[in-house]
């Protein structure tokens, strides 16, 4: 399917690896010019080179830095003269017990996983509406629908973002001008983050990563972890010209893990 977004410009945050990079790859294949960001410059440059090889016709710009810092967000926005597509992403907060978390831990999680996407959306959304095209995708987590106890910082911060988006996406000033805002909720995807989580679980249980990985895979009805490129392809469709009637949704990609009807 031709997605109808060739020549558009996209910002993809936290995109040197994993799900962010997969979204950037899928957009690159559609001929979308990119501004990608991550903290580590070396891996970011390697990702940019890969994208340029994948799609020689597009322009790929990089901004190294923590996206939860205002100065970095400003650089990202400046690098992208016209934001047609915005993919919000950042690392997830650490697991733990809420009894151990201080106010600073909460502020960090809220900054990265709620306030940063809101600030970027604020900077882009009215221009998108004026131009009659905008696609915003927030990478959140399956834990928004089915909270995971030890991920309380993530459950809380991402739910805050989700509630805010539910109202914003339905403004007729946006939806009526072909600006869509949706959240993509990953279940277990085969990325570095998942491997770190499995490795920590293996250490805690005194077992091997392979054994924990096998147990986790069997809990997924699809009997496997998602592949990042599957996630990227879905993201690219939501950003496509065909997806203008899809807004304000929380879209789960979890191989059937969420056990509810709705
Ligand atoms: P990943 O493989 O660890 O990749 C994370 C990417 O984000 C890297 O490029 C990293 O590069 C960048 N990054 C992290 N923090 C950043 C920051 N503050 N500013 C800029 N860039 C930053 O992780 P992933 O699996 O793709 O996960 C992406 C998001 O989905 C996370 O929020 C995660 O919690 C969520 N999620 C993932 C899964 C899963 O199974 N994979 C499931 C549910 C939710 P640098 O470290 O160099 O900055």
pLDDT at 48: 98
What are the pLDDT digits (tens) for 177-218? 999 999 999 999 999 999 988 998 888 889 999 999 999 999
The CA 72 to ligand 1 mean position distance, Å, reads 17
Separation of alpha carbons 61 and 9, rounded Å: 11
- Give the residue from 157, 165, 26, 146 showing the smallest Cα distance to 91: 157
The CA 19 to ligand 1 mean position distance, Å, reads 7
Q: Two tokens at 64?
A: 């190294």
The CA 234 to ligand 1 mean position distance, Å, reads 17
**Using CA positions, which residue lies closest to atom 23 of ligand 1?**
193
Which ligand 1 atom minimizes the distance to the CA of 192?
Answer: 2
pLDDT at 89: 98
pLDDT tens digit at each of 262 positions of the chain: 899 999 999 999 999 999 999 999 999 999 999 999 999 999 999 999 999 999 999 999 999 999 999 999 999 999 998 999 999 999 999 999 999 999 999 999 999 999 999 999 999 999 999 999 999 999 999 999 999 899 999 999 999 999 999 999 999 999 999 999 999 999 999 999 999 889 988 888 899 999 999 999 999 999 999 999 999 999 999 999 999 999 999 999 999 999 999 8
**Using CA positions, which residue lies closest to atom 3 of ligand 1?**
193
pLDDT at 200: 86
pLDDT at 197: 87
**Are 162 and 183 spatial neighbours (Cβ–Cβ below 8 Å)?**
yes
pTM of the predicted model as reported, rounded to 2 decimal places: 0.98
H/E stretch holding 232 reads helix 228-238
Question: Pocket around ligand 1: residues whose beta carbon is below 6 Å from it?
Answer: 14-20, 37-40, 43, 66-68, 89-92, 112, 139, 141-142, 186, 188-189, 191-194
Helix (H, G, I), strand (E, B) or coil at 37: strand
Separation of alpha carbons 247 and 164, rounded Å: 13
**Are 25 and 60 spatial neighbours (Cβ–Cβ below 8 Å)?**
no
**Using CA positions, which residue lies closest to atom 18 of ligand 1?**
66
For the chain, give the mean pLDDT: 97
Distances (CA, A) of 58 to 6, 50, 163, 235, 241: 9, 12, 35, 18, 18
Separation of alpha carbons 142 and 258, rounded Å: 8
The CA 131 to ligand 1 mean position distance, Å, reads 31
Which ligand 1 atom minimizes the distance to the CA of 113?
Answer: 32
Q: Two tokens at 233?
A: 């392809």
What is the β-pairing status of strands 60-64 and 33-38?
A: parallel
pLDDT at 81: 82
Q: Which of 193, 219, 225, 255 has the most ligand 1 atoms within 8 A of CB, as the residue to mutate?
A: 193
How close are the terminal C-alpha atoms of the chain, in Å? 28
**Using CA positions, which residue lies closest to atom 36 of ligand 1?**
141
Separation of alpha carbons 196 and 249, rounded Å: 29
The CA 65 to ligand 1 mean position distance, Å, reads 13
The CA 89 to ligand 1 mean position distance, Å, reads 7
**Using CA positions, which residue lies closest to atom 22 of ligand 1?**
14
pLDDT at 145: 95
């Amino acid at each position: 399917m031709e997605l109808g977004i060739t020549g558009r410009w996209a910002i993809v945050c936290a995109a040197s690896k994993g799900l962010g990079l997969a979204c950037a790859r899928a957009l690159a294949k559609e001929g979308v010019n990119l501004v990608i960001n991550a903290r580590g410059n070396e891996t970011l440059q390697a990702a940019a080179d890969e994208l340029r090889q994948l799609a020689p016709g597009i322009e790929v710009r990089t901004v190294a830095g923590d996206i939860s810092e205002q100065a970095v967000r400003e650089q990202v926005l400046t690098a992208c003269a016209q934001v047609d597509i915005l993919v919000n992403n950042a690392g997830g907060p650490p697991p733990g017990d809420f009894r151990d978390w201080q106010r600073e831990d909460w502020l960090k999680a809220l900054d990265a996983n709620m306030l940063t996407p809101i600030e970027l959306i604020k900077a882009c959304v009215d221009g998108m509406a004026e131009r009659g095209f905008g696609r915003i995708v927030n990478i959140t987590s399956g834990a928004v629908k089915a909270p995971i106890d030890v991920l309380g910082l993530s459950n809380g911060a991402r739910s805050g973002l989700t509630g805010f988006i539910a109202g914003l996406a339905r403004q007729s000033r946006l939806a009526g001008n072909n600006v869509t805002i949706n959240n993509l909720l990953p279940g277990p995807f085969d990325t570095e983050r998942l491997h770190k989580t499995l490795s920590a679980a293996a250490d805690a249980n005194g077992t091997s990563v392979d054994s924990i990985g096998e147990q986790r895979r069997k809990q997924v009805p699809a009997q496997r972890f998602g592949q990042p490129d599957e996630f990227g392809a879905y993201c690219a469709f939501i950003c496509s010209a065909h997806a203008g009637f899809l807004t304000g949704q929380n879209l789960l990609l979890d191989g059937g893990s969420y056990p509810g009807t709705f």
